[in-house]
Amino acid sequence: MLDRQLSVAPMMGCTDRHCRYLMRLLAPNTLLYSEMIVTGALLHGDAEYHLRHSDDSPCAIQLGGSNPSELAASAKLVEAAGYQEVNLNCGCPSDRVQMGGIGACLMGSADLVADCYRAMAEEVQIPVTIKSRIGIDKHDSYEFFSGFISTIYAAGCRAFSVHARSAWLDGLSPKENREIPPLHYDYVTRIKADFPDAVFVLNGGIANLADALALLQAHDGIMLGRAPYASPYLLAELEQAVYGIAPPTRDEVFDAYRAYVESELSEGTALKHMAKHLFGLYAGVSGARAFRRHLSTTMNVQTAGLEVLDAARDNISRAA
């Protein structure tokens, strides 16, 4: 059974395989999630490219889709690629998912989500989970949320990640949808009481170590998003607090990631795809601003290599 006490949320443009490699250096136990991958990309595109990963387990792939048979076929590919969980996105409010009727749109179709869950669960041995909001547009009562969960629970699902805000599909950007709809942590507390044998991981608004540890005391697990992406070392601090693991230093993490970058560069991966995830590594350390500035202004050069990383870190060394 997967340990769901700590997890990092799926984030478009963020939690690609390079980001997950960096986060795994910081946090050996935290469950990591991929960016959302739509079923069409796996079934009609380059599945090997989308599912490629290094040893980042425990790791889950999040799928975007609404066709049960396509999701089932995609889940099989996820399992074959060596991931430990497949997750269905029922929470993203972006224009892209709205056009496809997936993501948060699925909160208005609980029966369809249940069908999708059944189809996926019948095809794989790894856990199939759901990530949702607590509501959609004006349908944001606890009764609506409970009804959504109840339908999927009846289909057999026992693990949910809940962003404890409604998704407002009209008038808000994805960023605003992460900030403006009010948080209702109490909905997650209540749903756990109603379905005590299921796991409910709380997501949304968890900004720092103190908040994370306090919320973890009251919930099965917590899922962090933008906070550890902006400051990845938060993951090491969390693992120390939860698991008693002595954290690596930032420089140790940098050196290990540098070796990974060197290997990827030799295979033709552009530096910019890997360097961007380092921006927050030295957050709070003297010289961090100059470190970020050097990376951001030099990593996009086509010929950029390890010298860019080394010169960026020199700003930290001089400030130490």
Residue 88 has, within 13 A of its CA and on its CB side, a CA count of 34
Q: Is 154 exposed, middle or buried (0-12, 13-18, 19+ CB in 10 A)?
A: exposed
Joined tokens for residue 191:
């749903």
In order, the DSSP letters of 28-90 are SSSEEEEEEEEHHHHHSS-HHHHH---S--SEEEEEE---HHHHHHHHHHHHHTT-SEEEEEE
The answer to whether 102 and 55 have CB atoms below 8 angstroms apart is no
- Establish whether 92 is a catalytic residue: yes
The residue from 14, 59, 92, 157 that is catalytic is 92
Residue showing tokens 């379905």: 195
Q: What whole-number distance in Å separates Cα of residue 150 and Cα of residue 276?
A: 40
Which DSSP category does 172 fall into?
Answer: -
Which sequence positions are flagged as catalytic?
92
